[in-house]
Structure 1
Amino acid sequence: MKNTIQKIWRFYVDGFRGMTLGKTLWLIILVKLFIMFFILRIFFFPNYLNSSAVGEDKEEYVSRELIDRALGDPPSSTPD
């Protein structure tokens, strides 16, 4: 099993060493992933759970939001 894993690892390492255009493409892919998961998350996906619910209220807040959204009711501003 260990020998098979080493063969697979060497196959990919040798293939990556032989790439010329592929390295540039992988760099572009990694930069795009960094932008999507780190930069955009900061600006467009704020953490509403920490701002709206504190402590033990997080579970109730999430369940209330899921029920309200499923029913199409406007979100309630005060806890039940």
Structure 2
Amino acid sequence: MAQKSFSRLKWLFYLYYDGFKNMKTGKTLWLIIGIKLFVLLVIIKWLFFPNFLETRFTNDEDRGAYILDALTPPKEK
């Protein structure tokens, strides 16, 4: 069973490998897609989503207490 799974993975790898090797326009398109994903996921996160907990709290206990208070409903009396 393991040998059969390995041969399928090997077949799938070579399918993509041969496909990308013979591509001309597709390589450029995949490069553009990769650059766009990098910009969206890394650069924009870095610019617009600062580390809120690190800037407001100095230690892990305070961060944990803040998250616990924010996620759990207040106790009813």
TM-score, normalised to structure 2, is 0.75
- Dislocated runs of 4+, deviation >4 Å: none
Unaligned runs of 5+ in 2: none
Structure with the largest fraction of helix: 2
Of 56, 65, 72 in structure 1, the residue corresponding to residue 70 of structure 2 is: 65
Q: CA RMSD in A?
A: 1.9
TM-score, normalised to structure 1, is 0.73
Instruction: Within 5 Å, give how 1:1-40 maps onto structure 2.
Output: 1-40=5-44
One-letter code of the match for 1:50? E
C-alpha separation in 1, matches of 2:30 and 2:9: 23
**Secondary structure of 1:19 counterpart:** coil
Unaligned runs of 5+ in 1: 71-80
Aligned to 1:41: 45
Identity of aligned residues (%): 38
The number of equivalent residue pairs is 69
Deviations 1:15-50 (A, max 9, x none): 111211111110011101111122111210100011
